[in-house]
Structure 1
Amino acid sequence: MMFLNNDKISISQMVSIIILTIVGSGILTLPRELIEVAGSDGWLILIVGGLTVIGVSLVHGYIIRSFPGKSFFQILTLTLTKPIAYIVGIYTIVYFIGGTGYIIRIFAMTVNALLLPQTPPELTGLAVLLISAYLGRQGIEVLGRMAEFIIIPLSVVTLALFMLSWGHAQPSNLLPVLQTSPFEIIRGIPVVLFSFLGFELLLIFGGFIDKPKKSTKVGAIAIVMVLLLYQILNASTLVTLGQQQTKELLWPVINTFKSIELPGAFIEDVQVVVITLWIVTIFMTIAPFHLGATLLTMELAGGKEHSYYALLPLPFIGVVAAWDTSIADVYESLGTFSDYTVYGVILLVPLGILISMIIRGRKNKEDKVA
């Protein structure tokens, strides 16, 4: 057991955590972003980008498999030396804190605009942040069991809503196809990459997996499941709203479900149901990010019990969440922040670890031969 009061989590629990973390962060705006880049060929960019992300996740899984039972900070120390491990650890904490802050701000503003117009966004954000901190204190095992418990009913209800939204669908909105050049497809990959953020938690939580030898499967399974969901989401939005209307809406996914008419009208506004489902998924994005920052903070401080550190990131998250006043500014700041942190966390750091492993492996072989 790596940390006190934390048991191991299963492969299925880790997959559930990653799926829910990915979906919560960018699902509301993804169709608009895909259409802006590739029009009706967004499905193609999703496939290319999804395969790219799967390749990156395999590297993450290989690292975890090579260091069974080791935490992310321990892996950094063994491969990149302790001084560099501290620098990378702080950099990763900044990524988690900033990401959590921006997601909370988007969450609070969305709920304020669609459900609670009289409630200050700051109050809504504070409430979910405190709940996240409480869940984080309980450890990875509780988070894993919660994710595994809610993912199946959440998926069933979501797919049912998608099917109901097809009542006013116009399949011709999916045309034309294969009109996007290879250059534009490559240019659109970062959009997909940002929409799959959350798979990097495998590196942070990998030491808790009860069967680390199967770690390479975790990211691939989660990303394939999310890719299927994103394809359904993108197609449903496109056939319901069309390209032009989707491009003009801030949250096109919400508008997709406004056309649903339930038999008997026992639910007056389906939008409320959709927002409720999204609240659950975005909470399951915030909680793992917060827990990741907590665990790394504990290790950098040399602590043994992570629950004592769960409150430390909150002031910094609050500052980030309160930094911008409009939703447009929040998305712009999030984009800038992501450009400086995402590539480092999900690409450069794992590649640095992998290169170090290769060099050390060759050196060990040479020493044995000598």
Structure 2
Amino acid sequence: MDRPFFTVRYSRCAVVLIAVLAISAALDTVAWYHTINRLEATTQTAMATARENGWTIEATPLRKGGWPFGAWVELDRLETAHATRTAAPYDAGWAGEHIRLGGSWIHLLRSGLPLSLTGHQAARLVLDGNILTALASNLQIRLRNPGNLTFSVPQLELALSGRWPDRQFSLLSLSGRLIRFPEAQAGATRLGINVNAAKVTGFPLPYGFASDLQNAHLAIALTAPPTSAGLSLLDATSYGRLLLQDASASPATTSPDNRIILAGPLNLPDYDGTLTLTVTRWHELAAHLLERPEIQSRLSPDLQEMLRKLLQKTSIPSGMREQPLSLSVPVINGRMTPDAQVTSALISQHFQSP
């Protein structure tokens, strides 16, 4: 007896479905092998280049994974170290719990190669006697090309020590971009950095102060020097000037419109130059700062009273827009010396609004 029509029809659909799944699996497998070979080659090249540049690297053997939903290679317990040498005068180290290069097909099809650093990550840099320690987890990096990467991390903890005063602070919801032009001509940008942080806790300030900030932004460009003597990313002699395009933030307990902005060029490697400090809605900010106990404890009662009277004298009439306050801040050997300029502005009453 002949089979019913619907049975034949469903049998044909099943055959077509099986054929489609088989072809998809075969294509997925081919794509997986091709991508894995590329990721392995990228990882081995990066590690070989790092060893040539003086880094020692220890890690578990490279593992492959991701099929059928993606492709990646992984390393566990990565430990790297770099000792000071003439071409790269710094000590550095990095310990990573888990590193993955690659991801799902959706992430791989987007622009850039994803690099995930999950688990505990710790880095240490010693440069000219200054020590910087960084702790993070779940750091996400996207490599668009060897000289262009973007990154994001929920929280980055930083600690300063050595010649620097011992200070610790954290950056929350940090993201940014780094661009390199190793072959840049003299005067052109060799390294560019753009970073944003939603919040900064315990940011160190002069005279032992610390402050919480919000909506922090940093944009700098480092230009190539007249001669190509230095080629290390962290060596100041590798650059001619540091162009501080924008270093700005708002105090955490004030309006986001209260912005403290620092910008200007510095000559390298001496870090000499003049920066411009701009404060918007400075009158409100100054009144807020005078109410902070840690600042009151450093000022005599007479000085506090004088500053309050100065703020009253320079108060902004209702309906008028307050003009930003700008000061020139000389920088010598990386140290800002604003006291003389601030005193001069106070004496000459530059704080008065037009």
TM-score class normalised by the smaller sequence? under 0.3
TM-score after normalising by structure 1 = 0.18
TM-score after normalising by structure 2 = 0.19
**Which protein is bigger by CA-based radius of gyration?**
2
Relative CO higher for 1 or 2, CA cutoff 8 Å, sep ≥ 6?
Answer: 1
